[in-house]
């Protein structure tokens, strides 16, 4: 496989390519807008041609002619297999256990895979106010597993204590007496590497780093005492073929690539 020099690859491209590879063998994906959409569309052209994409607006089996700019973009509907009402989407598709992977983004994540997409700072007077949950709580609770893409890997984003818990993982839900269907977050793809866990009762651990990134650097960028896999691998860099597809076929208009 032909590779491309790391300095020619942007952070968005790196995250999208690596995340897309994680979708190999998965069938149904509940994709958030942004990097999850990029990764899912690239996976459809590479490792998962059978993939079925579900969007929060009720569209199932989406086949957009170009990338949607928002969850309500009409292009999502064009060519879709079905468009469902919100009760049908959340009550039947999600709660019915039909989603293999929920693909989300977040501003903060902790060692158990709980997510914050609400505020940075104090709730009453936050430094930054974020979009909030949307359907992420239902996606977390009902998908068989959840992948998260994080643009930043630093102690503020990978924190020991979330500023606000928007989307509780199964460990936190169980502590409150709620039994989720899925395993919660099992993969986190970042600019430094990949963190993973199998499910309830496990912390996220470092399983792979990008070329040139050391384990110590990842530990320093993480706000808790990060567990490290016994055999940390190196993520293969994006290939020329993957980058060409991403730039020319998936997002030629640079809707999300930057």
The residues annotated as belonging to the active site are 56
Answer yes or no: are the C-beta atoms of 194 and 187 closer than 8 Å: yes
H/E stretch holding 39 reads helix 35-45
CB 159 within 8 A of CB 153: no
What is the spatial distance between Cα 166 and Cα 212, in angstroms, rounded to a whole number? 34
The shares of helix, strand and coil residues in the chain, as percent rounded to the nearest 5, are 25, 20, 50
Residue 82, classed as helix, strand or coil, is strand
φ/ψ region of 112 (left if φ > 0, alpha if ψ in -120 to 50, else beta) reads alpha
Tokens of 232: 């940390």
179 vs 27, 115, 174, 197, CA distance in Å? 24, 18, 6, 18
Residues in the chain: 258
**Dist CA 146 CA 217 (whole Å):** 25
């Amino acid at each position: 496989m032909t590779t491309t020099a790391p300095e020619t690859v942007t952070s968005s491209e790196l995250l999208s390519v690596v995340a897309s590879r994680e979708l190999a063998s998965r069938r149904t994906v509940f994709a958030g807008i942004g990097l999850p959409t990029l990764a899912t569309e690239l996976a459809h052209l590479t490792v998962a041609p059978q993939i079925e994409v579900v969007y929060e607006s009720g569209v199932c089996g989406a086949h957009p002619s170009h990338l949607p700019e928002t969850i309500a973009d009409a292009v999502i509907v064009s060519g879709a297999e079905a468009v469902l009402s919100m009760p049908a989407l959340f009550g039947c598709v999600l709660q019915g256990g039909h989603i293999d992977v929920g693909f989300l983004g977040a501003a903060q994540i902790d060692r158990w895979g709980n997510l914050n997409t609400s505020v940075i700072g104090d709730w009453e007077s936050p430094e930054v106010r974020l979009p909030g949950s949307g359907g992420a709580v239902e996606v977390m609770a009902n998908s068989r597993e959840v992948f998260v893409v994080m643009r930043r890997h630093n102690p503020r984003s990978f924190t020991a204590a979330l500023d606000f818990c928007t989307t509780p993982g199964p460990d936190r839900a169980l502590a409150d007496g709620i039994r989720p269907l899925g395993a919660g977050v099992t993969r986190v793809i970042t600019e430094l590497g990949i963190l993973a866990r199998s499910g309830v009762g496990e912390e996220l651990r470092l399983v792979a780093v990008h070329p040139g990134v050391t384990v110590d650097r990842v530990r320093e960028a993480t706000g808790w005492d990060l567990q490290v896999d016994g055999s940390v691998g190196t993520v293969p860099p994006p290939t020329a073929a993957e980058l060409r597809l991403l730039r020319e076929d998936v997002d030629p208009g640079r809707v999300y690539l930057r």
